[in-house]
Amino acid sequence: MKKLKIEFSEKLLTKNAGLYLLALFSEKLSIKLLFKTNISIKRGSTAKYQVPDVLTMLIMSIFTGAKHISHLALLRHDEVIRTYYNWQDFPDDRTIGRIFKLFTFKHCTELSDIETLLRKKVWSRKWFGRITFDMDSTVKGVYGNQEGAEKGYNSKKRGQKSYHPLLCYVAENRECFHNWFRSGSSYTSNGVLEFTKECFSKIPKRVWKIFVRADSGFFSGAFIEYLERNKCEYLIKVKLKNLTSLLLRQKWRKVKNTEGTETTTFMHQCNKWNKARNFYAVRKIVELPDEKMLIPIPKYEYFCYVSNCNLTPMKAHRCYGQRATSENWIE
């Protein structure tokens, strides 16, 4: 077989060609102009890099998979993207870090206002009449002495400093609708009501129905009452200290064609609640009982939800399982 000489003669090649389409979209939305007119950080006329340029660089780097400032090297060495954006010079990591240190809470609020303006532009075209909010809290561990990181509950690494943000996704289009940055020492339910109020304030007028799915961190009477006042449907995972003993007192029914699975529905009023509400529970056998025991008792895994929807326990369990996709989006 004849040997072939293989060589790459083309220079302007890139694996980030998809950023071209994103660039066209950002130009249509006038993102860079919004940065320039709405962010009050003003650098000197002799400054080599302006805030709108650095923010654009950061956003496009995130789309290429960057998770750290050092990862901006993905675009720093991409001659095609730099040529298209007219980035003749690209700042190093230290310069980018100095620029972001200029940001204060005021400037973060300005960024949030820009996000609202962009959302209105996009949603003015088409939007859903009924939306699903998937609300979640997550623990993100960090190393070193990161600003705002504190020790709190961390199931993976106990004692590690972490962040504990709140997040809200729109299930229909996977959009991260709203988020709150919190330190790792924050209790799961801290601020969930205020966070939800901010989410509702951002909803377009054309939305007429909201369905909220939330993890156990949002299980509180005040939160549920707020959803009911706003005529929202909800499905929330239950978090109670005496949950297992409460479930053991219920009457369980076997699920047809599903071995080892039972369900129950009951009314329960938690402490400080204004009324009783519907609870849906599912339990599955995870370990069969020892036949040598006097009273063989299997070990169960329990799933319990509170909802104002007309559901069966299995439908509630499956519906809540769809919320797990938001955990993938978080990752």
Closest CA to 153 of 125, 190, 178: 190
pLDDT at 305 (0 to 100): 96
* Structural tokens at position 153: 């509950």
Backbone angles phi, psi at 98, to 5 degrees: -65, -40
Backbone angles phi, psi at 166, to 5 degrees: -105, 140
Q: What is the DSSP letter of 7?
A: -
pLDDT at 291 (0 to 100): 65
pLDDT at 327 (0 to 100): 67
Q: What is the DSSP letter of 23?
A: H
Query: Per-residue confidence of the chain (331 residues) as pLDDT tens digits?
Result: 556 676 666 677 778 888 888 888 888 888 889 998 999 988 877 788 888 888 988 888 888 888 888 888 888 888 888 888 888 888 888 888 888 888 988 998 899 889 888 888 887 777 778 899 999 887 777 777 777 777 777 667 777 788 888 889 998 888 888 888 888 777 777 888 999 999 998 888 788 899 999 988 899 899 999 999 999 999 999 988 888 899 989 999 998 888 889 999 999 999 888 899 999 999 998 777 666 665 667 788 899 999 999 999 999 999 998 876 766 766 6
CA distance 53 to 190: 36
The three-state secondary structure class of 21 is helix
Contacts of 172 (CB under 8 A, 6+ apart): 128, 131, 132
* Structural tokens at position 321: 């399982």
Rg (alpha carbons) of the chain, rounded to whole number: 25
How does pLDDT run across 23-74, given as a tens digit for each residue? 888 888 888 899 989 999 888 777 888 888 889 888 888 888 888 888 888 8
The pTM for the full model equals 0.78
At which residue do the structure tokens 């901010």 appear? 198
pLDDT at 6 (0 to 100): 65
Backbone angles phi, psi at 29, to 5 degrees: -85, -5
Amino acid at 156: K
The top-level CATH class assigned to 127-330 is alpha beta
116 touches 109 (CB < 8 A): no
CA distance 31 to 52: 9
How does pLDDT run across 316-330, given as a tens digit for each residue? 999 998 876 766 766
304 touches 247 (CB < 8 A): yes
Kindly write down the DSSP assignment for every residue of 26-95, as one continuous string: HHHHTHHHHHHHH------TT-SS-HHHHHHHHHHHHHTT--SGGGGHHHHT-HHHHHHHT-SS---HHH
pLDDT at 157 (0 to 100): 74
The three-state secondary structure class of 257 is coil
What is the residue extent of each domain of the chain?
Answer: 19-107, 127-330
CA distance 10 to 20: 19
